[in-house]
Structure 1
Amino acid sequence: MMNKRAFNFNAGPAALPLEVLERAQAELVDYKGTGMSIMEMSHRGAVYESVHNEAQERLLSLLGNPKGYKVLFLQGGASTQFAMIPMNFLSAGVTGSYVNTGSWAKKAISEAKIIGETHIAASGESSKFMKLPSLSEIEIAENAAYLHMTSNETIEGTQFKDFPDTGNTPLIVDMSSDILSRPLDMNKFDMIYAGAQKNLGPSGVTVVIAKEEMLTGSPKTIPSMLRYDTFLGNNSLYNTPPSFGIYLMNEVLKWIEEQGGLVQVEKANEKKAGSIYQVIDESQGFYRGCVDAEDRSRMNVTFRLADEALEKEFIKQSEKEGFIGIKGHRSVGGLRASIYNAVPYESVKALTDFMKEFQKING
């Protein structure tokens, strides 16, 4: 029997499904009778390659098998993508258009400025990023090579519910913190990317899903390891991939299938987020949601109390009760519950019960 697991609300690396961890535990020393862990195998061998290919196929299947899209497994996190995207697409005479929605969008913009010309298509800065710009506010530069958006800001706690029609301008979206949390019409996107450590698996793997034409013809003036066509031409096996992370990702993707796919996952996420927001909204001001209601994230619930002293006491008491990761990001303070796919409803129920009891005692 396993000991009681923590109520894990970490923002990333984040909770993984218990079933996945147990499967990995059973196969850790001997993967499918090979006498080796998958971590010990050559990435050129047939056994590993079958897992690698299966993970790519399963990911596309969960997204509806969109035609003409390819999956790359990279390293370096979304932060490396902030640089790779402009390095591959920002040539002389074109501009990278960016929607500035907060902490992660600003990092992407900062990297792009090093490489080439950038343009702010819309911004939520006037609201201190507590409200997203509407889709109608987005103005793409006439010479834009792409429009870049961040679908979910983990630090501020905002999330786009829909995405614009960008016409002939490629739409590139950082989905690190909400990929596979809901169904997507992939035809809206030319490229999406995500660090795995929130909804897909462990840290160390970065996923890029893009139309094949976006991944060909990278400039020869940038290093091989920073060119998308390098990985496309080698099935993401140009160098040694993070093989154990990809194996675990494949198991997480299986788990999502077992939940009923993205439709059922979205329902579960709506229920979890709704439970916490309901406690906040019904607290008569004891808890205060940080974000405008229409832009609230289903993945990262951010909220405040009356003062920092009370917030510190909330964190202290929550940790005693086994809640992990409730403290808000150091750049903004406050409180945050990250409730990615693998966070079970039971953990959310325990948190909402704790919130009600804490208000009863301290309200």
Structure 2
Amino acid sequence: MAEAQDAPKTVYNFSAGPCCLPKEVLREAQADLVDYKGTGVSVMEMSHRSKTFTGIADKAREDVRRLLSVPDNFTIFMFQGGASLQFAAICYNLLEDGERQSANYLTTGTWSQGAIAEARKYCNPNEVANNKPSGYTTIAEPADWNIDASAKFFHYCDNETIQGFEFGDGFPFDRVPEGQTLVCDMSSNFITREVDWSKYGVVYAGAQKNVGPAGATIVIVRNDLIAGHRSDTPLLCDWETFSKAANTFHNTPSCFPIYVCGLNLAYMIEQGGVPAMKAKAIERSSLLYDFIDNSDGYYVNRVEGRFRSKINIPFRVCSNDELEAKFLAEAAKVNLIDLKGHRSVGGIRASLYNAMPVEGVHALIAFMGTFKENNPAPQ
């Protein structure tokens, strides 16, 4: 097998997940791949109960807590199964045995649709609002939301990866009934902004968007919510069982993904933490939105301004499928990859996760300008 070499070319990866990762993180993982820090074994081989891996996992959790200022009365889990498994786990852990209960669900795109669809198996979900009629571009005013004050919890997705719809700092917390547990899927904007933990009971995020490779899911649960799950809760959804296990690992975790997540978490701290990540997210997204909005309608993003995602930016090229196919093919030739929109909506999508350098956005904008010049809008 040939020795690993540095990439001969610069590629900007706009994938919606797995995300791009900092080259510094990848090189450190590469250097330690065969022999982790002189142990003689790879992280992929070592026992998850070993002192070495326990230290790796503890440090990763400590860095999540440091980056997001997570209070001590929250437990940080690193599960398998992606955020999608938590759609069920949330119901099992926050609902009770007996008659079917109610839970509030706010629908703003594909992933919140998935959450409420899963919830229908376990409870009577109350749909607070649904922005599908608008094409997921806006949402009804919070004063008009249909909220069940007696529901067990209130669930929403902070950033819809596919539709590019984000609440961010603008979520109307005052509409959550007093004492009702607020649950949030932050998968695609995790560690891009501060979190007010006094508002939340559960925050969960698939790591493959902003933190690391696929295979780990970070679930942060307020301690008073961990016990008291339904009696039929599957083992892998049981927060209480995991909380009592050594290092919160009841079974073998995704060791290598957790290790790479740990490297990237430490790197983000070195780069200035959440304030720096937030500033970069604003800079990258502002550059691209400004270009789109000033393209005389050649490129279009239809999401209402206050809900535009700073992380996932979908857009159309003259609303023309053939032109978009050409756009994607020519972009790939100049090393701008994974720009194809999700199969359910089509178009183009640029995902600007924490590791995306601003140079990547400049390269994309330069390409978009050239493409527009060379490919006039169809008449």
TM bin, normalised by shorter chain, reads over 0.9
1:80-110 Cα shifts (integer Å, max 9, x gaps): 1111111222333531110010111111000
Distance, in Å, in 2 between the alignment partners of 1:3 and 1:339 is 23
3-state SS in 1 of match to 2:104: strand
The yes-or-no answer on 1:213 pairing with 2:220 is no
Specify the code of the residue in structure 2 equivalent to 1:145: K
The yes-or-no answer on 1:245 pairing with 2:250 is no
Specify the code of the residue in structure 2 equivalent to 1:216: A
Q: Within 5 A, what are the aligned runs for 1:147-186?
A: 147-161=154-168, 162-163=170-171, 164-165=173-174, 166=176, 167-186=178-197
Distance, in Å, in 2 between the alignment partners of 1:118 and 1:103 is 16
Q: Which moved more, 1:212-221 or 1:51-60?
A: 212-221
**In the alignment, what sits opposite 2:135?**
128
The yes-or-no answer on 1:193 pairing with 2:204 is yes
**In the alignment, what sits opposite 2:235?**
224
Displacement of 1:136 in angstroms is: 3.6
**In the alignment, what sits opposite 1:233?**
244
Structure 2, unaligned stretches of length 5 or more? 1-5
3-state SS in 2 of match to 1:67: coil
Specify the code of the residue in structure 1 equivalent to 2:329: K
Distance, in Å, in 2 between the alignment partners of 1:213 and 1:158 is 31
**In the alignment, what sits opposite 1:75?**
80
The question of whether the paired residues in 2 share the 8 Å contact of 1:216 and 1:232 is answered with no
3-state SS in 1 of match to 2:153: strand
3-state SS in 2 of match to 1:51: helix
3-state SS in 2 of match to 1:72: strand
**In the alignment, what sits opposite 1:316?**
329
**In the alignment, what sits opposite 1:31?**
36
The question of whether the paired residues in 2 share the 8 Å contact of 1:94 and 1:143 is answered with no
The yes-or-no answer on 1:64 pairing with 2:75 is no
Give the one of 109, 113, 128 matched to 1:102. Answer: 109
**In the alignment, what sits opposite 1:9?**
14
**In the alignment, what sits opposite 2:365?**
352
Give the one of 102, 115, 120 matched to 1:113. Answer: 120
Give the one of 344, 356, 365 matched to 1:331. Answer: 344
Distance of aligned partners of 1:112 and 1:55 in 2 relative to their CA distance in 1, 3 Å threshold: same
Specify the code of the residue in structure 1 equivalent to 2:351: S
Give the one of 91, 98, 103 matched to 1:86. Answer: 91
3-state SS in 1 of match to 2:38: coil
Distance of aligned partners of 1:137 and 1:246 in 2 relative to their CA distance in 1, 3 Å threshold: farther
**In the alignment, what sits opposite 2:3?**
none
The yes-or-no answer on 1:286 pairing with 2:291 is no
Distance, in Å, in 1 between the alignment partners of 2:121 and 2:52 is 41
Distance, in Å, in 2 between the alignment partners of 1:110 and 1:253 is 32
**In the alignment, what sits opposite 1:256?**
268
Displacement of 1:231 in angstroms is: 1.1
Distance, in Å, in 2 between the alignment partners of 1:319 and 1:127 is 32
Distance, in Å, in 2 between the alignment partners of 1:241 and 1:60 is 19
Give the one of 140, 144, 151 matched to 1:144. Answer: 151
Specify the code of the residue in structure 2 equivalent to 1:37: S
The question of whether the paired residues in 1 share the 8 Å contact of 2:137 and 2:304 is answered with yes
TM norm structure 2: 0.93
Displacement of 1:137 in angstroms is: 3.7
Distance, in Å, in 2 between the alignment partners of 1:182 and 1:15 is 19
**In the alignment, what sits opposite 1:203?**
214
Displacement of 1:7 in angstroms is: 1.1
Distance of aligned partners of 1:122 and 1:283 in 2 relative to their CA distance in 1, 3 Å threshold: same
Distance, in Å, in 1 between the alignment partners of 2:126 and 2:223 is 26
Distance, in Å, in 2 between the alignment partners of 1:23 and 1:138 is 48
Distance, in Å, in 2 between the alignment partners of 1:214 and 1:138 is 26
Percent of aligned pairs with the same amino acid: 39
1:214-262 Cα shifts (integer Å, max 9, x gaps): 1122223222222110111113211001011111111111111011010
The yes-or-no answer on 1:265 pairing with 2:277 is yes
Distance, in Å, in 1 between the alignment partners of 2:361 and 2:142 is 31
Displacement of 1:116 in angstroms is: 1.4
3-state SS in 1 of match to 2:203: strand
Distance of aligned partners of 1:114 and 1:65 in 2 relative to their CA distance in 1, 3 Å threshold: closer
Displacement of 1:210 in angstroms is: 1.4
Specify the code of the residue in structure 2 equivalent to 1:106: Q
The yes-or-no answer on 1:49 pairing with 2:62 is no
TM norm structure 1: 0.97
Specify the code of the residue in structure 1 equivalent to 2:349: R
The question of whether the paired residues in 1 share the 8 Å contact of 2:100 and 2:123 is answered with no
Distance, in Å, in 2 between the alignment partners of 1:328 and 1:132 is 22
Displacement of 1:200 in angstroms is: 1.1
Distance, in Å, in 2 between the alignment partners of 1:67 and 1:138 is 33
The question of whether the paired residues in 1 share the 8 Å contact of 2:100 and 2:122 is answered with no
